A and B are shown apart, each in its own frame.
Chain A
Amino acid sequence: MAVAPATLRLIDRGDLLAALDRAATGKVTIISAPAGSGKTSLLRTWAHRLDRQDRLAVVQVQRCQQDAQQFWLALLGAVRHVSGTAGNVERPAATPDFNGRAMVGRVLAALGEHRTFLVIDDLHELQAPGALGQLTELLTSLPPQMHAILATRRDVRLGLHQLRLAGELTEIRAADLRFTEREARELLKASGVALSEAGTALLHRRTEGWAAGLRLAAISLADHPDPERFVAEFSGSDRTVAEYLLAEMLERQPDDVQQLLLRTSLLDRVNGELADLLTGRPGSERILLGLEDANAFVLSLDPERTWFRYHHLFADLLRLELRRRLPEEVPELHRCAAGWFTRQGLPVEAIRHTQAAGDWPGAARLLADHSFSMALDGQTQTIQALLQEFPPGADHPELPLVHATVDLVQGRLDEAAAHLAIAETYVEAAPLDRQRRLDVAIASLKLSLARRRGHFAAVLEQATFLDSPVTGQSDEDIALGGDLRAVALMNLGIVEAWSLALPDAERHLREGAFLARRIGRPYLEVSCLAQLGFASKIRPFATTRRRCREAIDLADRHGWGAEPIVAPALITLAANLIWTGEFDEAERELQRTERALQTDTGPGIRLLMHIGRGMLHAARCRHHEALGEFTAAEQLRSQLEGSHALASQVTGWMLATQARLGMTTEARAFLAGLDAEAASAGEIRNACGVIHLAEGDPAAALPEVAAAADGTAPVIGYVTVVESHLLAGLAHRQLGDQRAANQAVERALGLAEPDRLVLPFVMTGSGEMLEALPRHETAHAALLADILDVTRGSSLAARDGSAPPQTEDLSPTELRVLRYLPTNMSRSEIAGELSVSVNTVNTHVRSIYAKLRVRDRSAAVQRARELRLLAAGRRS
Chain B
Amino acid sequence: MDPAPARYAIRIHGHLGATVLSAFPALVPHWNGADTVLTGRLDRSALYGVLAEIEALGLELVEVRQVTQRRGSPGSGDARFL
A-to-B contact residues, CB < 8 Å: 34-36, 153-154, 210, 212, 237-244, 246-247, 312-313, 316-317, 320-321, 323-324
In whole angstroms, how far apart are the Cα atoms of A143 and B58 in the complex?
A: 36
Min CB–CB distance B74 → chain A (angstroms): 20
Query: Which are the 7 A-B pairs with shortest beta-carbon distances?
Result: A240-B14, A35-B58, A238-B15, A36-B58, A243-B17, A243-B20, A324-B22
Q: Mark B42-63, 1 if CB is under 8 A from A, else 0.
A: 0000000000000111111000
Which of B13, B16, B19, B56 has the most C-beta atoms of chain A within 10 angstroms of its own C-beta? B19
Query: B16–A243 contact, CB under 8 A?
Result: yes
**A241 proximity list for chain B (CB < 8 A):** 14
Query: B17–A239 contact, CB under 8 A?
Result: yes
**B22 proximity list for chain A (CB < 8 A):** 320, 323-324
Q: Is B79 an interface residue (CB 8 A)?
A: no
Min CB–CB distance A248 → chain B (angstroms): 11
**A210 proximity list for chain B (CB < 8 A):** 58
**A320 proximity list for chain B (CB < 8 A):** 19-20, 22-23, 57
Closest to B31 in A: A238
In whole angstroms, how far apart are the Cα atoms of A237 and B34 in the complex?
A: 10
Taking A212-B58, A320-B19 as given, write out 20 further A-B residue pairs in contact, using a Cβ cutoff of 8 Å, ordered by the A residue number: A35-B57, A35-B58, A237-B15, A239-B16, A240-B13, A240-B14, A240-B16, A240-B20, A240-B59, A240-B60, A243-B16, A243-B17, A247-B19, A313-B56, A313-B57, A316-B57, A317-B19, A320-B20, A320-B22, A321-B19
Min CB–CB distance A220 → chain B (angstroms): 16
Query: B18–A324 contact, CB under 8 A?
Result: yes
Min CB–CB distance A591 → chain B (angstroms): 39
Min CB–CB distance B11 → chain A (angstroms): 13
**What are 10 A-B contacts with C-beta separation under 8 Å?**
A34-B58, A35-B56, A239-B14, A239-B16, A239-B17, A240-B17, A241-B14, A246-B19, A323-B22, A324-B18
Q: Evaluate whether A154 and B55 lie within 8 angstroms (CB atoms) in the complex, with A240-B13, A240-B14, A241-B14 already known.
A: yes
In whole angstroms, how far apart are the Cα atoms of A212 and B56 in the complex?
A: 13
**A321 proximity list for chain B (CB < 8 A):** 19
**B15 proximity list for chain A (CB < 8 A):** 237-240
Min CB–CB distance B2 → chain A (angstroms): 23
Query: B55–A35 contact, CB under 8 A?
Result: yes
In whole angstroms, how far apart are the Cα atoms of A324 and B17 in the complex?
A: 11
**B13 proximity list for chain A (CB < 8 A):** 240
Min CB–CB distance A322 → chain B (angstroms): 10
In whole angstroms, how far apart are the Cα atoms of A154 and B55 in the complex?
A: 9
Query: B57–A244 contact, CB under 8 A?
Result: no
**A36 proximity list for chain B (CB < 8 A):** 58
**B20 proximity list for chain A (CB < 8 A):** 240, 242-243, 317, 320
Min CB–CB distance A250 → chain B (angstroms): 10
**B16 proximity list for chain A (CB < 8 A):** 239-240, 243
- How many positions in chain B have a CB within 8 Å of any CB in the partner chain? 19
In whole angstroms, how far apart are the Cα atoms of A247 and B21 in the complex?
A: 14
Which of A241, A243, A320 has the most C-beta atoms of chain B within 10 angstroms of its own C-beta? A243
In whole angstroms, how far apart are the Cα atoms of A651 and B55 in the complex?
A: 63
In whole angstroms, how far apart are the Cα atoms of A243 and B16 in the complex?
A: 8
**B34 proximity list for chain A (CB < 8 A):** 238
In whole angstroms, how far apart are the Cα atoms of A35 and B22 in the complex?
A: 19
Query: B19–A324 contact, CB under 8 A?
Result: yes
In whole angstroms, how far apart are the Cα atoms of A246 and B12 in the complex?
A: 18
In whole angstroms, how far apart are the Cα atoms of A247 and B31 in the complex?
A: 20
Min CB–CB distance A798 → chain B (angstroms): 51
One of B17, B18, B23, B56 near A312 (C-beta < 8 A): B56
Closest to A208 in B: B60
Query: B55–A247 contact, CB under 8 A?
Result: no
Min CB–CB distance B51 → chain A (angstroms): 10
One of A34, A247, A313, A323 near B17 (C-beta < 8 A): A247
In whole angstroms, how far apart are the Cα atoms of A316 and B12 in the complex?
A: 18
Min CB–CB distance A606 → chain B (angstroms): 39
**A324 proximity list for chain B (CB < 8 A):** 18-19, 22
Q: Evaluate whether A244 and B19 lie within 8 angstroms (CB atoms) in the complex, with A34-B55, A212-B58 already known.
A: no
Min CB–CB distance B36 → chain A (angstroms): 8
Min CB–CB distance A442 → chain B (angstroms): 39
In whole angstroms, how far apart are the Cα atoms of A871 and B78 in the complex?
A: 93
Q: Mark B1-39, 1 if CB is under 8 A from A, else 0.
A: 000000000001111111110110000000100100000
In whole angstroms, how far apart are the Cα atoms of A35 and B58 in the complex?
A: 5
Closest to A313 in B: B58
Closest to A315 in B: B56
Q: Evaluate whether A153 and B55 lie within 8 angstroms (CB atoms) in the complex, with A238-B14, A238-B34, A239-B14 already known.
A: yes
In whole angstroms, how far apart are the Cα atoms of A237 and B31 in the complex?
A: 13
Closest to B33 in A: A238
**B59 proximity list for chain A (CB < 8 A):** 240, 242
In whole angstroms, how far apart are the Cα atoms of A210 and B13 in the complex?
A: 14
Min CB–CB distance B25 → chain A (angstroms): 10
Closest to A316 in B: B56
Min CB–CB distance A50 → chain B (angstroms): 29
Min CB–CB distance B42 → chain A (angstroms): 19
Min CB–CB distance B32 → chain A (angstroms): 11
Closest to B13 in A: A240
**B18 proximity list for chain A (CB < 8 A):** 324
**A312 proximity list for chain B (CB < 8 A):** 56
Min CB–CB distance A237 → chain B (angstroms): 8
In whole angstroms, how far apart are the Cα atoms of A316 and B20 in the complex?
A: 9
In whole angstroms, how far apart are the Cα atoms of A237 and B16 in the complex?
A: 11
**A35 proximity list for chain B (CB < 8 A):** 55-58
Query: B55–A243 contact, CB under 8 A?
Result: no
**A237 proximity list for chain B (CB < 8 A):** 15
**A212 proximity list for chain B (CB < 8 A):** 58
**A153 proximity list for chain B (CB < 8 A):** 55-56
**B14 proximity list for chain A (CB < 8 A):** 238-241
In whole angstroms, how far apart are the Cα atoms of A653 and B13 in the complex?
A: 75
In whole angstroms, how far apart are the Cα atoms of A316 and B19 in the complex?
A: 10
Which of A210, A312, A317 has the most C-beta atoms of chain B within 10 angstroms of its own C-beta? A317
Min CB–CB distance B69 → chain A (angstroms): 30
In whole angstroms, how far apart are the Cα atoms of A313 and B17 in the complex?
A: 16
Min CB–CB distance B31 → chain A (angstroms): 8
In whole angstroms, how far apart are the Cα atoms of A239 and B18 in the complex?
A: 10
Min CB–CB distance A351 → chain B (angstroms): 24
In whole angstroms, how far apart are the Cα atoms of A316 and B55 in the complex?
A: 11
Min CB–CB distance A19 → chain B (angstroms): 23
**A154 proximity list for chain B (CB < 8 A):** 55
In whole angstroms, how far apart are the Cα atoms of A324 and B24 in the complex?
A: 12
In whole angstroms, how far apart are the Cα atoms of A241 and B60 in the complex?
A: 10
**B19 proximity list for chain A (CB < 8 A):** 243, 246-247, 317, 320-321, 324
In whole angstroms, how far apart are the Cα atoms of A35 and B54 in the complex?
A: 10
In whole angstroms, how far apart are the Cα atoms of A317 and B56 in the complex?
A: 9
In whole angstroms, how far apart are the Cα atoms of A241 and B23 in the complex?
A: 16
**A317 proximity list for chain B (CB < 8 A):** 19-20, 57
**B56 proximity list for chain A (CB < 8 A):** 35, 153, 312-313, 316
**A242 proximity list for chain B (CB < 8 A):** 20, 57-59
**A316 proximity list for chain B (CB < 8 A):** 23, 56-57
Min CB–CB distance A236 → chain B (angstroms): 12
Min CB–CB distance B64 → chain A (angstroms): 15
In whole angstroms, how far apart are the Cα atoms of A212 and B59 in the complex?
A: 12
Closest to B16 in A: A240
In whole angstroms, how far apart are the Cα atoms of A313 and B34 in the complex?
A: 22
Closest to A314 in B: B58
Min CB–CB distance A214 → chain B (angstroms): 13
**A239 proximity list for chain B (CB < 8 A):** 14-17
In whole angstroms, how far apart are the Cα atoms of A419 and B23 in the complex?
A: 40
Q: Evaluate whether A244 and B17 lie within 8 angstroms (CB atoms) in the complex, with A323-B22, A324-B22 already known.
A: yes
Min CB–CB distance A341 → chain B (angstroms): 25
In whole angstroms, how far apart are the Cα atoms of A242 and B16 in the complex?
A: 10
In whole angstroms, how far apart are the Cα atoms of A139 and B48 in the complex?
A: 29
In whole angstroms, how far apart are the Cα atoms of A240 and B58 in the complex?
A: 10
Min CB–CB distance B15 → chain A (angstroms): 4
Min CB–CB distance A585 → chain B (angstroms): 49
In whole angstroms, how far apart are the Cα atoms of A239 and B21 in the complex?
A: 12
